[in-house]
Chains A and B, each alone.
Chain A
Amino acid sequence: MDQTEIFEKVIKILTPYVKNQDALASVTAATHILDDLKVNSARLVDVVLEFEDIFEIEIDDDDVDSVETVGNAVALIESKLG
């Protein structure tokens, strides 16, 4: 699975949790998930669990700390997919 495909899937997973829908229109790898997309921090774990289910990977607690931007999420998933 290439980076673009992962990126698109990540956005699709994030979409229901995004409060700032306007930010979705111009989303890039640098877009901050909490600050820009206004995803509730308490719901971030639901997003991560969906990453696990959709990409069939396992994410450690510590890995979540590195996920701040969409690009971070894509990089993490890419690294887990090997």
Chain B
Amino acid sequence: MASRQFDSVPPEDRRSLKIQREITRLLSPVALSLVAFALRYGFGYRIEGLATLRADYRRVCRESDDPTIICANHLTLIDSFIVAWALGSPWWYLGHFRTLPWNVPERSIFAATPMLRALIYALKCLPIQRGGERRGVTEVLSKLAYLVSNGETALVFPEAGRSRSGRVEVESAATGVGRIFKSVPNCRVICVYLRGENQDTYSNFPRRGDRFRGSLEVIEPKTDHTGVRGSRDIAHQILARLADMERSYIDARK
């Protein structure tokens, strides 16, 4: 079923996205390596079970070409970069570029200066103003839906913002991810729970040298509802799964 959101991405925006993708691909050997280097050696982060997590992601990508949205818990400003780093090496992404997720970072933070704008442009990012004018938010969601429907992968935080309680907040479900999911036929969701051992609550950055552990699960949410209620229902199901994964994470630490 063709979606209204696909139709609403004008041809000039489609061209812009295509150009951004190609520029990103050209720059990716340097950009991805720099990000991975910064996370590992600049911030000193390590991911426990990194090889397993990456193998799981490779397996999931191999298993199906269905449109894919990655949904993760959200505690710090750089979660999207850490999740992408956790799921694949720069070299893997070079050969499987569609699996490098598009991100929607907060415009007021990540697009505040020309240098930051250029940086995130080169990292498959579409800045969004959370809580901003609805049409602007919808425009970005439409672009994401368009990209996902065309074989790209998107990373979305279903809580919309960082969890203030430090725990997955199922009741904070935004509708954005549900809108994208409903508008892309045969879409699947990869839930990723990733957290630093010293990450007690939300923060701007994980603590320097923190060690992360994480897991991923594939789900196919379903809803009998339509409209806003359906979108919220989808987001609820995704967050409920992430909350389950969080419980497993916490239990494993005891």
Question: Is A81 part of the binding interface, using a Cβ–Cβ cutoff of 8 Å?
Answer: no
Give the interface residue-count category, chain A.
10 to 19
Complex partner residue of A52 from B161, B179, B228, CB under 8 angstroms? B228
CB-CB under 8 A from B173, the residues of chain A are 45
Query: Is B49 an interface residue, CB under 8 A from the partner?
Result: no
- Chain B residue numbers with a CB within 8 Å of A34 are 131
Contacts of B138 in A (CB 8 A): 62, 65
B172 near A: Cβ within 8 Å?
yes
Q: Are B160 and A42 in contact (CB under 8 A)?
A: yes
Query: Does chain B have a CB within 8 A of A67?
Result: yes
A48 to chain B, nearest CB (A): 5
* Number of residues of chain B lying within 8 A (CB) of chain A: 22
A60 CB-CB contact with B under 8 Å: yes
Inter-chain contact B131/A59, CB cutoff 8 Å: no
Asked if A49 is an interface residue, CB under 8 A from chain B, the answer is yes
Interface string of A51-69 (1 = CB under 8 A from B): 0100000111111111110
Contact with A along B129-140 (1 / 0, CB 8 A): 011111100100
B232 in the interface, Cβ–Cβ < 8 Å?
A: yes
Do A60 and B175 have beta carbons less than 8 Å apart? no
Q: Considering the chains assembled together, what is the distance between the CA atoms of A74 and B129 in angstroms?
A: 26
Q: Does any Cβ of B come within 8 Å of A20's Cβ?
A: no
Interfacial chain A residues near B131, Cβ < 8 Å: 34, 40-42
- Considering only residues 126-185 of chain B, those with a C-beta below 8 Å from chain A are 130-135, 138, 160-161, 172-175, 179, 182
- Minimum CB–CB distance for B133 against chain A, Å: 8
Instruction: Report the Cα distance A61→B179, complex, angstroms.
Output: 7
Instruction: Indicate if the CB atoms of A61 and B174 lie closer than 8 Å.
Output: no
Question: Are B228 and A60 touching (Cβ within 8 A)?
Answer: yes
Q: Is B103 an interface residue (CB 8 A)?
A: no
- Docked-complex contact B175 and A45, CB < 8 angstroms: yes
**For residues 53 through 89 of chain B, which have their beta carbon under 8 Å from a beta carbon of chain A?**
none
Residue of B nearest to A52 (CB): B229
Name the B residues within 8 Å of A60 (CB-CB): 226-228
Distance, CA A40 to CA B227, complexed state (A): 21
Q: Interface readout for B206-240 with A: 1 if CB under 8 Å, 0 if not?
A: 00000000000000000000111101100000000
Contact status of A49 and B228, CB under 8 A, knowing A42-B131, A42-B172: yes
Binding site for B on A (CB under 8 A): 34, 40-42, 45, 48-49, 52, 58-68
Beyond known contacts A61-B231, A63-B228: 9 more, CB 8 A cutoff: A45-B173, A45-B174, A45-B175, A60-B228, A61-B228, A65-B134, A65-B138, A66-B134, A68-B134
Residues of B within 8 A of A (CB): 4, 130-135, 138, 160-161, 172-175, 179, 182, 226-229, 231-232
A-B contact pairs, 16 of them (CB 8 A): A40-B131, A41-B131, A42-B161, A45-B173, A58-B227, A58-B229, A60-B227, A60-B228, A61-B182, A61-B231, A63-B228, A64-B134, A64-B175, A64-B228, A65-B135, A68-B133
